[in-house]
Structure 1
Amino acid sequence: MRELRRRHTPFSVARWASRKAAHALSTWPGIRHVRYAIHRWEFLAGRNDSGYSGVFSTVEEAARSAPIAVTGYDQAGMADLHVYSQANGEFRPMPPTEYPALFWLRPAIESGARRLFDLGGYVGHVYYQYSGYLDLPDAFSWTIYDVPHITQAGERIARERGARHLSFTNDLGAIGEADIVFAAGSLQYLKEGFLHEALRAASRLPPHLIIHRTALHPSRSFVTLQSINQRSGRIAFCPYTVAHRERFIDGLQALGYEQIDAWTKQRAIDVPLHPECHADAYSGLYFRLRS
């Protein structure tokens, strides 16, 4: 009891009580409305970069909630976000959180995989980060699928840097030519089930799937709207899909894939005023096609 009294000072008790009171007040209809209005104003003004606003049933509904007519990555300026450091124009080094994906990518290549389909691979930042850790054969093909504004910028950067393994496409059908499908931080910018539908329509199923930095929720799926500050100072808004984790995995297993590994990246997903949408971390998964 002496230890309990020493730890719970009058100040700490008052602070705890004030927090409880603030939380209770925030549930009142009038207060909640004011909180939402303030949050929405800050969000639309770009004061919370990579913040989220609203919960929607579809990507189209989320896009209609944006304050500008053009949303998503297929627009000028979106290929110039945070790929380079501002000091010397180089790609940022690979952070430690990329090692789980690299761990499974390396043996897939060493076992004979020669064609990688990078789904939503942007301008090639993963290729540039990973290539120093991989012994890519001369005939290896790293193909990035993305929207036209992004692939055009990626092709220009690849020419400047002499990236001989790298190519770009806007043709989703090329996924059927791959030995490895790699999706890092991209599936949340697509409709839920996009990957599953692409695989079902493919001419063949790729033997390896590496899913990395993907927004999955343990009990629900939803779409929100994300704000992104471009280096030009403009604000872009993107519908952001958070898929139901179990349904996501079950859908791939139904196609004939076996889950081999899973990992997380510690970055919480929070949609203000929607605590039911909280997720503790982003997900990584590795699947192999059952023989």
Structure 2
Amino acid sequence: MKSLLKSLIPPIFFTFLNKFTGRKYGWKGNYSSWEDACLHSTGYDQDDILNKVKESALKVKNGEAAYERDSVVFDEVCYSWPLLSGILLSSVNSGSIRVLDFGGGLGSTYYQNKKFLDLFDVVSWNIIEQPNFVNTGQQYFSDGCLRFYTDLDSCLDEQQPNVLLLSSVMQYIEKPYELMEQLLKRRFEYIVVDRTPFSHDDKDQLKLQVVSPVIYSASYPCWFFSETSFVEHYLKNGYKLIESFTSLEGNSRDCMFKGMIFKRD
């Protein structure tokens, strides 16, 4: 499985920072292949990145911070209400929350919404991540609700999630449409997409995302999707689009960050 990556800082931060740096950070170039983009990137599997994410996530878990996103801690939770609505909608028939959070890091979205999740008697939040994150998650964060897996099959052998969460992950997959097809074959009742960049010209584009060292030093390939093509993959696989929304990152001159809620027909 390809490395699962997380979007790091919102476009508005890049806009502010680039006034003083000559646009050194953010999204750059138009690459013809994933391999070409990788030649110019440093990747996401560095130990210092994992350690920073772990340190921030532990602060949230231990009550020392209210919220963590992409290793940055906040004094108050910044909710994505549409995302939460999609998760809660999936509980209508069963009365339980059963999530597969693909590329969910160390549980940022789980802890973000824990106040609401705790209202349910049954919560199963299952994260699929790259092995170093899974090892850390199992050691420091796993509990009766939150679990970590390295692949889809091992998760589905043990759990029965009915909602798939894809938050800031598909853009960091080498072949996102192939992965999408594999996931859609599992026939989740609901799929919630969030924090996903779409190009202004409605064409798939491959960029290099360069992260400010204010967060940590890293760079990696990043897709901007054609919204038309992206949605069509769900529709042709038997899903209907319930709602689309602007993600917390908002829109910039580079792209539009959006989310979507799909339901299986």
TM-score tier, shorter chain, comes to: 0.7 to 0.9
Higher mean C-alpha deviation, range 126-135 or range 137-146: 137-146
Distance 1:131 1:111 in 2: 21
Q: Indicate the structure whose relative CO is greater, using CA pairs within 8 Å and at least 6 residues apart.
A: 2
SS state of the match for residue 105, structure 2? coil
SS state of the match for residue 141, structure 2? helix
The structure carrying a bigger helix percent of its residues is 1
Count matched residues.
Answer: 226
SS state of the match for residue 242, structure 2? strand
2:106 touches 2:133 (CA, 8 Å); kept in 1?
Answer: yes
* Aligned with 1:196 (options 175, 180, 187): 180
Residues 156 and 228 (structure 1 numbering): CA distance in 2 closer, same or farther, change over 3 Å?
Answer: farther
* Aligned with 1:242 (options 200, 221, 224): 224
1:172 touches 1:198 (CA, 8 Å); kept in 2?
Answer: no
User: How does 1:130-279 map onto structure 2 within 5 Å?
Assistant: 130-135=113-118, 137-159=120-142, 163-173=143-153, 177-191=160-174, 192-200=176-184, 202=185, 204-218=186-200, 219-229=202-212, 235-265=217-247, 266-270=249-253, 278-279=254-255
SS state of the match for residue 55, structure 1? coil
User: Which residue identity is paired with 2:106?
Assistant: V
2:97 touches 2:117 (CA, 8 Å); kept in 1?
Answer: no
SS state of the match for residue 250, structure 2? coil
Q: CA deviation at 1:83?
A: 4.3
Q: CA deviation at 1:138?
A: 4.4
Higher mean C-alpha deviation, range 77-86 or range 131-140: 77-86
User: Which residue identity is paired with 1:225?
Assistant: L
Q: Which residue of 1 aligns with 2:47?
A: 76
Deviations 1:34-86 (A, max 9, x none): xxxx96xx73xxxx3xx1221113322211122x4xx13x3312232494579
Deviations 1:73-102 (A, max 9, x none): x3312232494579x743514314x11111
Distance 2:235 2:151 in 1: 25
Q: CA deviation at 1:105?
A: 1.2
Q: Does 1:284 align with 2:259?
A: yes
Distance 1:269 1:283 in 2: 12
Unaligned runs of 5+ in 1: 1-37, 271-277
Q: Does 1:108 align with 2:108?
A: no
TM-score, normalised via structure 1 length: 0.68
The structure carrying a bigger strand percent of its residues is 2
Residues 234 and 250 (structure 1 numbering): CA distance in 2 closer, same or farther, change over 3 Å?
Answer: closer
Q: Does 1:56 align with 2:31?
A: yes
Unaligned runs of 5+ in 2: 1-20, 68-75
TM-score, normalised via structure 2 length: 0.74
Distance 2:29 2:97 in 1: 42
Distance 1:126 1:243 in 2: 23
1:59 touches 1:241 (CA, 8 Å); kept in 2?
Answer: no
Residues 147 and 91 (structure 1 numbering): CA distance in 2 closer, same or farther, change over 3 Å?
Answer: farther
Residues 180 and 60 (structure 1 numbering): CA distance in 2 closer, same or farther, change over 3 Å?
Answer: same
User: How does 1:1-20 map onto structure 2 within 5 Å?
Assistant: none
Q: CA deviation at 1:174?
A: 5.2
The sequence identity of aligned pairs, in percent, is 22
Residues 115 and 288 (structure 1 numbering): CA distance in 2 closer, same or farther, change over 3 Å?
Answer: same
